[in-house]
């Protein structure tokens, strides 16, 4: 079957304690493990061990990202396809890459990002009983999104990496913003029948634009913004509507300067649906439907 969904993001932060406090108390993630230089966190409704790894590092940015695959055999299948492209992945057994880690096929994508394909990450449960549960556990703190949703990556050759993700990893293109010269400026790719699990944004290779957490409703974006404002977190934009994906979002920054999003809405995408195309002239509206013009801060700030 292949890639199921975005599994996790490993984020560099110069001040691990500060970042830990932010992701735990403001975002409301739950710590599941801690090593010398890493903190492992999950959103409350995720069953697997972690979706965010904070890595103590000299600067900000994205160390790696992971996609969950359905079957262990998918790792072999996809490793074979990578090899056919001349990319030799590294394989790790469960546990090799740290607490809770699953069997992993690691490679570097043409965009310069380290990508893990993972099967069998430790399951730790979502904090609810498996018999007669209430709809949510007591004692959630901060924004408390139920799960990770998607990730936006920067790279120089969006056309190239988009083709790579479609051909090698069977991602489907849902939307694209096209430059007047015919190149793809931004592409949206999915495996979950949602508008995007990963998106590529024209910029420097290896760059990190944002990681998004899912929330269920528009009201949750206000709660998120109120929570950010209460804690003095830097809000960049929103709550607002995106033209592309039709979803609604809120952008804000972790203490290291990495961008986070809360995202909701979107649509179901069938494999035989036609992708949506945005023209360069409408790029502003594709990103921020209400603002309707390109936001230079959003376009240029990344880590």
- 274 near a copy of itself, judged by CB under 8 A: yes
First to last CA, the chain: 32
Interface positions, 236-255, toward a copy of itself (CB under 8 A): 238-241, 243, 246, 248
Q: List Cβ neighbours of 33 (8 Å cut-off, separation of 6 or more).
A: 39, 40, 49, 50, 98, 99, 100
- 60 vs 278, which CB is nearer to a copy of itself? 278
Would you count residue 289 as binding a copy of itself (CB under 8 A)? yes
Shortest reach from residue 255's CB to a copy of itself, in Å: 16
46 is catalytic: no
Kindly tell me which of 162 and 276 has the beta carbon lying closer to a copy of itself.
276
Check binding of 182 to a copy of itself (CB under 8 A): no
285 touches a copy of itself (CB under 8 A): yes
Q: Which of residues 84-143 bind a copy of itself (CB under 8 A)?
A: 120, 123, 125, 128, 130-136, 138
For position 4 contacting a copy of itself by CB under 8 A, the verdict is yes
Backbone torsions φ then ψ of 192, nearest 5 degrees: -105, 10
Which of 265, 284, 302, 303 touches a copy of itself by CB under 8 A? Answer: 265
Is 210 a residue of the active site? Answer: yes
Active site (annotated) includes residue 196: yes
User: In whole angstroms, how close is the CB of 10 to a copy of itself at the nearest point?
Assistant: 20
Backbone angles phi, psi at 263, to 5 degrees: -130, 145
Angle 223-226-231 (CA atoms, 0-180°, nearest 5)? 125
User: Is the preceding omega at residue 239 within 30 degrees of 0, hence cis?
Assistant: yes
How distant is the alpha carbon of residue 8 from its chain centre?
7
What distance in Å separates the CA atoms of residue 115 and residue 1, rounded to the nearest whole number? 18
Residues designated catalytic: 150, 196, 210, 242, 251, 261
């Amino acid at each position: 079957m292949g890639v199921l969904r975005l599994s996790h993001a490993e984020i560099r932060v110069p001040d691990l304690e500060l970042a830990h406090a932010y992701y735990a108390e403001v975002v409301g993630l739950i710590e599941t493990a801690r090593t010398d230089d890493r903190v492992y966190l999950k959103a409350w409704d995720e069953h697997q061990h972690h979706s965010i790894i904070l890595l103590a590092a000299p600067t900000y940015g994205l160390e790696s990202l992971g996609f969950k695959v359905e079957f262990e055999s998918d790792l072999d299948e996809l490793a074979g396809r990578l090899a056919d492209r001349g990319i030799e992945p590294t394989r790790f057994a469960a546990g090799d890459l740290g607490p809770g880690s699953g069997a992993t096929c690691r490679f570097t994508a043409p965009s310069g990002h380290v990508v893990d394909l993972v099967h069998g990450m430790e399951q730790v449960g979502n904090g609810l009983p498996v018999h007669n549960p209430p709809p949510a556990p007591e004692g959630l703190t901060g924004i408390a999104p139920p799960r990770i949703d998607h990730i936006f990556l920067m790279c120089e050759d969006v056309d190239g990496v988009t083709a790579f993700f479609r051909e090698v990893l069977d991602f489907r293109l849902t939307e694209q913003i096209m430059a007047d010269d015919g190149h793809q400026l931004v592409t949206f790719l999915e495996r979950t029948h949602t508008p995007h699990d990963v998106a590529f944004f024209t910029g420097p290779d290896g760059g990190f634009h944002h990681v998004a957490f899912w929330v269920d409703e528009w009201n949750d974006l206000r709660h998120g913004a109120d929570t950010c404002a209460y804690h003095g977190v830097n809000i960049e934009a929103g709550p607002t509507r995106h033209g592309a994906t039709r979803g609604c979002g809120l952008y804000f920054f972790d203490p290291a300067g990495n961008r986070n999003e809360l995202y909701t809405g979107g649509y179901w995408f069938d494999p035989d649906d036609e992708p949506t195309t945005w023209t360069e002239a409408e790029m502003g509206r594709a990103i921020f439907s209400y603002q309707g013009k390109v936001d230079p801060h959003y376009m240029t700030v990344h880590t």
